[in-house]
Structure 1
Amino acid sequence: MHGRSHPWANALGWLPETASQTGGPYVHIGCVPSFAGLEGMYGGRDLGAACRRDGHVGEAITVEGHVFDGTGAPLRDALLELWQADANGRFAGEDGSDPAFDGWGRQPTDGETGLYRFETVRPGRVAWPDGRMQAPHIGLWIVARGINVGLYTRVYFEGDPANEEDPLLARVEHGERRATLMARAGEDGVWRFDIHLQGPKETVFFDV
């Protein structure tokens, strides 16, 4: 979208590119309308509101946490999308994938507490392009005001022995930084994964 043109730009026959915009309220209106108080759209339920359905295969888990800014304050208007394989390591649409699991979800952070929550399943292992097996993981994409380009990170499961041989984790040069990619087990199948956008606890983000 172009802003107001300048005389010199018109004289040259082209318009300059305007500055990029960060995610604003329209992101929620279009993606999770219930967050903006718009009920009944998309057939009555926001797209991506549920990753799993009755009859799914594998261990049911909950992944939840906060997205913190550089001052340590939780963002209450962020939007996250989840992408993952099913319990057998197959993505939605692949032969043999679980028909009761979509492998994708979309959730806003809570407008009061900043908490996000995904009801999903613990994923299986999938192959790296060279054939090595990756550890079970979940991909997360994060947008919010102040973020010009969506951020991508991964959720691994603390204590999983497969983490030691995961090809992508091995590429994180500083070993202590890998801890920022680890979800920690709580009670009743809840895994805690906080995201820090800046600061000493900054989460590792990937350029994808």
Structure 2
Amino acid sequence: MTDLPRTTPSQTVGPFFALPDGLPWPDGPEVVGTEEPDAILLRGQLIDGAGEPVPDGLIEIWQADERGRIQHPDDPRDDSTSFRGFGRCATNAEGRFWFRTVKPGALPTPSGGTEAPHINVTVLARGMLDRVVTRIYFPDEPRANAVDPVLSAVDPERRATLVAVPETEAFRFDIRLQGDDETPFFAV
């Protein structure tokens, strides 16, 4: 039986195969390579309801390219992209995660409007019955953020928790699963 993958202890979600062996993604957190001139770093920490880091979480991102194009059959635009726009990162012992990507462009809405540039985020972690989904918005898009239909639906006092914070050579986006400054999550 030594050929079988080892599993994590039984949890509400799972059991998962122990990371990083399980749920592999070939490029991990590298949505774009280091040679990409417009690459940005996105860093953060996954924090539980008691304010403690979550060392066994999994963060996934999915996004459009810098022109707002997505690689998906539902994107009807004829100049679709080959940009995959997906990354996956397990949290480390301090609950930290990171991604190298590009800042996405604005996306059209079905009603003819526009969504502000954003990155979709999925979080899986111990003790959760299901994944949670949120978004990361950018601080240099105040006008677009003000009219984004999803961000506008969030309580004004909580909107700032969805906007990344600029740091030296990176953006920071911490995810709080519960408690003070809990990250807003969306039903999808």
Structure 1 residues 141 and 31, CA gap change in structure 2 (3 angstroms): same
How much has 1:129 moved relative to structure 2? 1.4
| Contact 1:134 1:167 survives alignment (8 Å) | yes
**Alpha-carbon distance in 2 for matches of 1:134, 1:155:** 12
Matched, 1:102 2:102: no
Structure 1 residues 64 and 49, CA gap change in structure 2 (3 angstroms): closer
Unpaired stretches in structure 1, ≥5 consecutive residues? 1-19, 33-44
| Contact 2:29 2:98 survives alignment (8 Å) | no
Matched, 1:65 2:48: no
The amino acid that maps onto 1:78 is: G
Matched, 1:206 2:152: no
How much has 1:48 moved relative to structure 2? 3.9
| Larger RCO (CA under 8 A, 6+ residues apart) | 2
- Cα RMSD (Å): 2.1
Matched, 1:194 2:174: yes
Q: Between Structure 1 and Structure 2, which shows a larger proportion of helix residues? A: 1
SS at match of 1:82: strand
**Alpha-carbon distance in 2 for matches of 1:187, 1:97:** 32
Matched, 1:183 2:175: no
Structure 1 residues 54 and 202, CA gap change in structure 2 (3 angstroms): closer
How much has 1:97 moved relative to structure 2? 4.1
**Alpha-carbon distance in 2 for matches of 1:193, 1:96:** 31
Structure 1 residues 27 and 138, CA gap change in structure 2 (3 angstroms): farther
How much has 1:76 moved relative to structure 2? 0.7
**Alpha-carbon distance in 2 for matches of 1:106, 1:77:** 13
TM-score normalised according to structure 1 size: 0.76
TM-score normalised according to structure 2 size: 0.83
**Alpha-carbon distance in 2 for matches of 1:26, 1:134:** 36
| Contact 2:33 2:100 survives alignment (8 Å) | no
Matched, 1:148 2:129: yes
- 2:69 alignment partner in structure 1: 90
The sequence identity of aligned pairs, in percent, is 41
How much has 1:55 moved relative to structure 2? 6.6
Aligned pairs, number: 172
